[in-house]
Amino acid sequence: MSFFQILDGFAATWGSNKPLQALTAVFIAAFSIFFASKIARGFRKPPFPLPPGPRGLPIIGYLPFLGTDLHVALANLASSYGPVFKLRLGTKLCVVVSSPAAVKEIVRDKDAIFANRDASVGALIATYGGHDIAFADYDPEWRKMRKLFVQEMLSKASIDACYDKRREGVRMGIREVYGKTGEAVNISQILLVTLVDSVVRTLWGGSILEDHKDSSVKGPELKQMLNEFITLLGCPNISDFFPALAWLDLQGVARRMRKVCAQIDSILDKAINERTTAGVNGSRRRDMLQYLLDLNDSEDPASSLSMNQVKALLKDIVIGGTDTTATITEWALSKLLKHPETLEQVYQELNQVVGLDSMVEESHLPQLHYLNAVLKETHRLHPALPLLVPRRPSQTTDVCGYTIPQGTKILINVWAIHRDAQLWDMPSEFRPERFLDPAAKWDYAGNDFRYLPFGSGRRVCAGLPLAERMQMYALASFLHCFKWEVPKGEEIELSETFGIVLKKAVPLVAVPTPRLSDLKLYA
Ligand code: HEM
């Protein structure tokens, strides 16, 4: 039956009144269009609502209300809006997740959908446009780099083979502290320099401090340079919330990032150029830098890397890997100084396992169960990356009954999960014993969604096996070699300062006294 036959039917019923017929036709047409559009909208409408969330201001959204401690502000909002909530920040839609169930959906059930990163303007400059592992999208180039890094460069055999380099770096740090016996030492700085040095020795056999003696790369400057880099990676930037304004670089983040990257690039270029020249002279070393440079020369697309990829990966390792490790080691030492009875237990374990007549070796680490629990508890209370590295879904999907539109910035609030009273007994207390329970198999791999200091899923920390060793080795060595005391009249400050890496607001300063029985060991 056609539309006009239906109209005829109406006319027959209501008489042959032409104006009425026309009016009816208009009415039916309007009605049909209304329903057709309703049905069409019905098909397009997402099956689930968007997550709840606070209302912000027009245009800028919730940006002015977040304050400086973003991880804490987001934890507070989760207590009002639930474990999956949304925020509009400028033109950007953000979804914040703070429960193990929601995390599981993102990093396990829908890991492939959520595997892209949401790189900031600063991160894209630092990585030559996302050519590293940490900020690259989930694409074949990322898969190739991650596979080479995890399976070749950080295989157990490769890590074991570089132990002497890590040891040289840590021993250099110990000598430096020994030279300051009885003085107030900025542990934050010494730890960072020690770890950067260990990693640089591992990568290309050099020493960041010794190789750059004549330049501005000294301990304090190195720390300042890396701090600037890490700050710019994670700082709130108008260009990220209003991409149309990015060309104005209103806060100067892009300009500052280009400046600090030029300094870092000059260090990397020096190491690369020296190696290339050494190659011409026929004296190439076999180390991680050489492995990467060989991949840069390779013709095989399955393994070849561009020079930007090589340098971006070196930055991930030299800066990303060391700043996190130094930060967590500093937090652990601070917690121990605040809890002398726990520190005493650590010393007893070290005396028993290592002995006061020896330095710590990596072979001792598996026996240091209590120290391992101290580190795990430190990661719980002060996760180095409190919101992990933001992810971005490649398609519209759903989590815990809410629609998550394609391209949303996903923040996983690990800091909030680690302090959730429904998941942890006395969550704000420092109690390493909770990680000694043999029934609970806590590890760093992100298999238990209540505990994610290294993330989880296919974007879990790629440097985990090296990080586990370096953090334990540095912490055990600095503790075993010295008795640490808070400078007279001072107290240990434990407040946090938010950034992509969660640091101590006040760097740790303490006074070392040698513990070992033979002072020759410090030489
Ligand atoms: C205590 C030390 C460290 C901590 C706490 C840490 C933590 C993390 C976290 C939380 C992520 C993000 C995971 C996610 O988004 O799910 C990450 C990513 C990453 N980490 Fe670490 N990390 C540490 C040390 C290292 C080291 C030593 C290296 C290199 C040797 C490294 C290399 C990386 C890389 C390349 C990524 C990016 C992975 C990807 O996006 O596929 N990290 N790390």
Which of 98, 9, 12 lies closest to 51, judged by CA? 98
Residue nearest atom 43 of ligand 1, based on CA coordinates: 461
462 lines ligand 1 (CB under 6 A): yes
| Cβ 417 under 6 angstroms from ligand 1 | no
Distance 244 CA to ligand 1 centre (A): 31
DSSP assignment string, 287-303: SHHHHHHHHHH---TTT
Over residues 406-439, the pLDDT tens digits come to 999 999 999 999 999 999 999 999 999 999 988 8
For residue 347, with 0-12 CB atoms within 10 Å meaning exposed, 13-18 middle and 19 or more buried, which class applies?
middle
Residues of the chain with pLDDT under 50: 1-16, 19-20, 23, 26, 34, 216
Q: What is the CA(341)–ligand 1 centre distance, in A? A: 32
How many angstroms is it from 28 CA to the middle of ligand 1?
62
Which residues are paired to 403 by β-bridges? 398
Note the pLDDT of residue 81.
Answer: 98
Q: How far is the CA of 316 from the centre of ligand 1 (A)?
A: 8
Helix axes 253-280, 219-234, angle to 10 degrees: 120
Residue of the CA atom closest to atom 37 of ligand 1: 134
Return the structure tokens found at 6: 């239906």
* Residues contributing to the annotated binding site for heme: 461
Q: State residue 212's pLDDT score.
A: 56
379 vs 134: CA distance, rounded Å = 20
User: What is the predicted pLDDT for the residue at 23?
Assistant: 47
The pLDDT value recorded for residue 438 is 80
> Phi/psi zone of residue 457: left (φ > 0), alpha (ψ -120 to 50 degrees), beta?
left
Question: Which residue(s) pair with 228 in the sheet?
Answer: none
CA distances from 58 to 242, 253, 286 (A): 13, 25, 58
> What is the position in ligand 1's atom list of the atom closest to the CA of 107?
16
The one-letter code for the residue type at 225 is M
Residue-wise pLDDT for 326-346, tens only, equals 999 999 999 999 999 999 999
Spans of all domains in the chain: 122-522
C-alpha span between 110 and 99 (Å, rounded): 16
Instruction: Assign 448 to helix, strand or coil.
Output: coil
Superfamily name and number for 122-522: Cytochrome P450 (1.10.630.10)
